[in-house]
Amino acid sequence: MATAYKRKKQPELVRRTLLDCAAKLALEQGLAAVTVQAVAEAAGVTKGGLFHHFPSKQALVEGVFADLLARVDADIDTAMAADPERRGAFTRAYVGSTFSDPLLPRGSQWAALHISALAEPSLRRLWAEWFADRLARHRDTDDGPSFEIVRLAADGAWLAFLFREDGGPVPDIPALRGRLLAMTRPGPDERP
C-alpha cells in the first residue's frame, strides 16, 4: 500500500512567511497590494491557510505592523542595553533606530511603519499605543521637554526625508543624527 507524502506542519514558519510576504508587498507596492490572494501566493499557501493564521486582511495587516513594531522595539532595547548612560537612553536608541537604515526611507522597517500608519487609522492607533507604552516605561530616564523635542525632531526629519521629491536635496543624515543625539546628553553646566 502506498503512503501519501505528509509534510510536517510548521505553523510558526507559515505565520512568519505570511508576515514577511505581506510586509514585502506593502513596502514594494503599497498597502493596497496586500491582498489575501497576493500574500497567499507569495507565501505558497492557500487562502484557507492564510485565514487559519489571520482571520481577515485587516488582521494580517495589523499583524505585519505589530511584527515591525516588535522588531523596532528589539532594536531599541539592544541599543539601550549597550548605552552606558541611563539618562536619555530610550531617546538616543529611538533616534539611532530611526536613522539606522542607510537607505532611508525606502526599504527600511521605519518606512513600512510610517507609510502604513499614515494610510490606516487602526495602525496609527497601534503606533500610538506602542509609543505611549514605551514613554511610560522610560519615564524615569527620558521624561522632559528636551527629550520630547529630540524624538519629535527625529520623526519630523524622517518624514521630511520620506516626502522629499526624488532628485531633491538629501539631508546630511549622519550629521543630523549626531546633533540630535548630542541634545540628549547634559551640557557642561548640567553635569553632576
Do 35 and 123 fall within a single domain? no
Do 48 and 63 fall within a single domain? no
Poorest-confidence range of 8-12, 15-19, 93-97?
8-12
Residue partners of 35: CB distance under 8 A and separation at least 6 = 57
Domain limits for position 31 = 9-55
pLDDT digit string, tens, across residues 85-94: 999 999 999 9
Tell me, what CATH number does 88's domain have?
A: 1.10.357
Domain-located, residue 115? yes
| Whole-structure pTM value | 0.77
2 pLDDT band, cuts 50/70/90, is very low
Identify the DSSP state of 164.
Answer: S
Q: Record the cell numbers describing residue 185, joined without a space.
A: 546628553
The pLDDT of residue 18: 92
Domain count, the chain: 2
Do 121 and 94 fall within a single domain? yes
Query: Which residue, among 155, 61, 162, 70, has the nearest Cα to 108 in the 3D structure?
Result: 162
Domain-located, residue 4? no
Do 68 and 49 fall within a single domain? no
